A = this chain, B = another copy of it.
Amino acid sequence: MSPSALNKDVGAYLDDPKNIERFINRLRDAVKIDSISGEPARRQRVIDMGEWLNQRLTDLGVTTELRDLGYEAGVFVDNVPVKLPPVILGRIGDDKNKKTVLIYGHYDVQPAAKEDGWITEPFELDVKADHKPGEKYDAEKRYGQMIGRGSSDDKGPILGWLNVLEAHNPTPQKPDEAKPKADPEWPTIPLPVNLRFCFEGMEESGSEGLDALIQKEANQEVGWFKGVDCVCISDNYWLGTTTPALTYGLRGLAYFKITVSGPARDLHSGVFGRAVHEPMTDLISLMSRLVDPAGNILVPGVDNVGPASTDELDIYEKLDYGLEDIKAAVGANIALSADRVQVMMGRMRMPSLSLHGIEGAFSGPGAKTVIPASVSGKFSIRLVPEQIKKQTPEEIAAKKPAEKLVDTVTALVTAYLESEFAKLGSKNRLTIEMLHGGEPWLEDPKHWSYAAAKKATEDEYGRPPDLTREGGSIPVTLTFAQSLEKNVLLLPMGRGDDGAHSTNEKLDKTNFVKGTKLFARYLYEIAEPNVGN
């Protein structure tokens, strides 16, 4: 194995306990600002958080620009329109001989309240003691966890980048920040790459206005992102709790609502049962024709994903995640296969169809004998670029058909359901709507940016990362990939059990410290000669 490219002083700075204490205190300050973007009445707190973050970036030598996105569409508090928090664009370094890396993160958080079941105040970072050698292990003690809303999603990762900046420029002497005692000890070190930052404050609430901004700034003549060589986003998680991950794919989504309507009003089943075509009977029959209990999608053309290549199979076989992990995560032994690789491929590289529920039918507890007049089934299909036709690796890399996958799948679903409905011989009416869709994203995991991240992970964690694809959508990923036409790397800091959108969200202290070093190592690996040339 080749030696680590990380600057030794930078590594030492990031390992120093006093510095780590200050990093944690800075995270505490960030968590304290309850920047919940989903509650318009508290929008000022998100803006406060943006200003706090902007100040820290400026202190660390970053040139910033706060982009005003105007007002949130259709949202008013006491009849007053509500401002969107600014997008913070940052820039440090303009050396033409260095690569330029664009970093994305979001400074808003999910809602949180103590009464939802938090064991601590969600906006007071609670740093648990480490497990001491010889101490009897007690999971309740949450050794080394830093519990607080935003700790892992996404303030911890953002601060990781700030820690890296500070390690190169260790004099952030501001009245509101304790001066690092060790200051004179640490040299100023040039960054190995040019950095660009894009930090938004509305990620948890739809990222209004962000796509347009990115598309505009991607202009290689005049845009802020001019000269960017690759993008790195730290806003997802490892598969499990022990092995780091690099994520190179996200499934897309097409969400459907199909409605069967018949009578003008709800009917009494005693009076009209077996006299008329019942919308529920038709709807349930249609929904049963979408997916089988083994997970196979029955809509012709939608499930046409070819077999995995040897390279791909290799990725799945190496994943540090097994049936026991699935069982632990879902709380039951219900994996679709006893073959670990099949299960992980089902989760990552296959499309899936989930039936979510029915609107308009009886859904309460107890018994009601009504025949509902109109019922709407809701289901969604997770999309992967390999659907519809087998693609060559070159086509995948070129992201060719992905641009229209939602439309293609919608057409296939519509044609199939209409044809199946005709077979029912019902006199009811069927309507099919695609409520919202998003294209899948798939990156070439052999790109130099991934190779750099892999090397950085091996150096920091002593093991190769899992190469993962995910189901949840991070829409900005696709926007960056398509606008910049550059490689995008998802480089998670937190673990699979961080509970990003749940109660008791946490980031493990080790993930914060080692994740920060991983970020630094990644930049140094990218800066190595021969990389990307």
Contacts and interface: CB of A to CB of B under 8 A. Distances in A.
Interface of A: 251, 253, 255, 257, 262-265, 267-278, 280-282, 284-285, 287-288, 291-295, 326, 329-336, 343-344, 346-347, 350-359, 361-372, 378, 380, 382, 424-428, 435-436, 470-473
The 9 closest A-B pairs by CB, nearest first: A264-B331, A270-B471, A273-B352, A357-B362, A357-B361, A288-B288, A274-B352, A363-B363, A274-B346
Nearest to A296: B274
Contact of A268 (B275, B357, B435, B471): B471
A23 to B, nearest CB: 30
Nearest to A365: B359
A330 B378 contact: no
B270 A369 contact: no
Contact of A293 (B263, B285, B369, B435): B285
Given A336-B275, A471-B273, A367 B354 contact: no
Question: Main SS of the interface on chain A?
Answer: mixed
Contacts of A380: 269, 367, 369
Contacts of A277: 293, 295, 334-336
Contacts of A350: 274
- The residue in A269, A280, A371, A471 that gathers the most chain B C-beta atoms within 10 A of its C-beta is A269
- The residue in A274, A276, A357, A473 that gathers the most chain B C-beta atoms within 10 A of its C-beta is A274
A260 to B, nearest CB: 10
A363 B359 contact: yes
Nearest to A382: B273
Contacts of A278: 295, 354-355
Contact of A332 (B263, B357, B424): B263
Contacts of A281: 291-293, 295, 354-355
Contacts of A291: 281
25 contacts: A262-B334, A264-B330, A265-B331, A270-B470, A271-B470, A275-B326, A275-B336, A275-B346, A276-B330, A277-B295, A277-B336, A278-B355, A280-B354, A282-B293, A287-B288, A293-B424, A334-B426, A354-B371, A356-B368, A357-B372, A359-B364, A359-B365, A361-B363, A366-B435, A367-B435
A353 B273 contact: yes
A353 B255 CA distance: 30
Contacts of A262: 330, 332, 334
Contacts of A427: 332-335
A382 B270 contact: yes
B334 A263 contact: yes
